[in-house]
């Protein structure tokens, strides 16, 4: 392992703001593996770099933890973003991993292919890398933009859940966001777009009831089959089902409290 300072001949300067921004680093990443570029690498004693792994400064985490603007500004990564973009641009010859969430995938890839990557692998890594950099830049813009919103509409939502189908079975549907962090799916088929509409309608309906008491809602095709607020989750389920037990089949069942084992067992007996 060779430190960047040893490669560039310059120390990390300006309180760490400048470390990797140097031709000896970016030349090795951006050089195409063709005669002219390789000759220039040799001429200027620049080693070719085939793999770039980056873990960006935690900008979003810093914004969430402090309002100190000087601390937030220092977490705007410059060199890391530049390394990612350079490597992703030269994906034909360089592999890039832009976040620690991808480390496991890279390790598996290298193990499966005995330390090698092919062009399709590297292009996919580049695709993922640009997803990281675009999300990072969006977070920075939103911090500076605040509540103004007069320059552009920018959102970046990590997390993708492929849906069983879209509005119709032949259509594709995708949910963006971390579904599992909001809901606990107890059973049934994979979520479809129409299921999401039912879930949204169920939540809106349940909002009309007491939030601190167990409420169970049963919906199908955006129509309420039953809803009940009771002292226990099991009682709420039983009374919600009693509203229209026939139409409940194939519907969405939503509860605002954790479902205990006895209630889950009661549901399983019917569905």
> What are the boundaries of each domain within the chain?
4-145, 160-270
Give the pLDDT band of residue 255 (cuts 50, 70, 90). Answer: confident
Helix ranges, the chain (H): 4-8, 23-30, 35-43, 59-65, 69-73, 79-89, 103-112, 119-145, 193-206, 233-242, 261-270
**Residue bearing the bigger pLDDT, 261 or 196:** 196
Q: Which of 38, 133, 22 is nearest to 76 (CA)?
A: 133
Quickly list DSSP for 177-190.
S-GGGT----SSSP
Instruction: Let me know the angle formed at the C-alpha of 57 by 51 and 61, rounded to the nearest 5 degrees.
Output: 135
What superfamily would CATH give domain 160-270?
AICAR transformylase, duplication domain (3.40.140.20)
Active-site residues: which are they?
A: 89, 221
According to the model, what pLDDT value does residue 17 have? 83
pLDDT band at 271 (very low <50, low <70, confident <90, very high): low
* Beta strands per DSSP E along 107-265: 160-162, 174-176, 215-220, 223-229, 252-255
Mean pLDDT of 125-133: 96
How far, in Å, CA of 90 to CA of 67, rounded? 37
Q: What per-residue confidence (pLDDT) applies to 270?
A: 65
Q: Average of pLDDT values for 20-48? A: 93
Mean pLDDT of 51-70: 95
The number of residues in the chain equals 271
pLDDT for position 183 = 87
Label residue 4 by pLDDT band (50, 70, 90). confident
Give the pTM: 0.77
pLDDT tens figures, 149-201: 899 889 998 888 999 999 898 999 999 988 888 888 877 788 899 989 999 99
Taking residues 31-35, what's their average pLDDT?
95
4-145: CATH number = 3.40.50.1380
d(CA 20, CA 8): 8
pLDDT at 203 over 70: yes
Q: What is the spatial distance between Cα 118 and Cα 114, in angstroms, rounded to a whole number?
A: 12
- Sign (positive or negative) of CA dihedral 15, 16, 21, 22: positive
Confidence of residue 16 (pLDDT cuts 50, 70, 90): confident
7-42 burial: b if 16+ Cβ within 10 Å, else e: bbeeeeeeeeeebbebebbbbbbbbeeeeebeeebe
High-pLDDT (> 70) share of the chain, %: 99
Flag whether pLDDT at 98 surpasses 90: yes
């Amino acid at each position: 392992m060779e430190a960047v300072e040893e490669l560039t001949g310059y120390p990390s300067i300006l309180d760490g703001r400048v470390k990797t921004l140097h031709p000896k680093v970016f030349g090795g990443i951006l050089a195409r593996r063709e005669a002219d570029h390789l000759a220039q690498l040799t001429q200027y004693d620049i080693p070719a770099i085939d793999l770039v792994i980056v873990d960006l400064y935690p900008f979003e985490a810093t914004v969430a933890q402090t309002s100190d603007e000087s601390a937030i500004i220092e977490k705007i990564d410059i060199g890391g973003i530049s390394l990612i973009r350079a490597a992703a641009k030269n994906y034909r010859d360089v592999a890039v991993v832009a976040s620690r969430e991808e480390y496991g995938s890279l390790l598996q890839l290298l193990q499966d292919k005995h330390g090698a990557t092919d062009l399709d692998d590297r292009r996919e890594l580049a695709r993922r890398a640009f997803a990281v950099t675009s999300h990072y830049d969006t977070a920075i813009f939103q911090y500076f933009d605040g509540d103004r919103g007069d320059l552009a509409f920018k959102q970046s939502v990590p997390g993708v859940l492929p849906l069983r189908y879209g509005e119709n079975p032949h259509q594709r549907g995708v949910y963006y966001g971390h579904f599992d962090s909001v809901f606990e799916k107890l059973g049934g088929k994979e979520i479809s777009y129409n299921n999401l509409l039912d879930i949204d309608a169920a939540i809106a309906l349940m909002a009309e009831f007491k939030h601190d008491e167990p409420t169970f809602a049963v919906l199908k095709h955006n129509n309420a089959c039953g809803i009940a607020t009771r002292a226990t989750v099991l009682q709420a389920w039983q009374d919600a089902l009693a509203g229209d037990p026939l139409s409940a089949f194939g519907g969405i069942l939503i509860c605002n409290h954790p479902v205990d084992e006895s209630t889950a067992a009661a549901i399983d007996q019917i569905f």
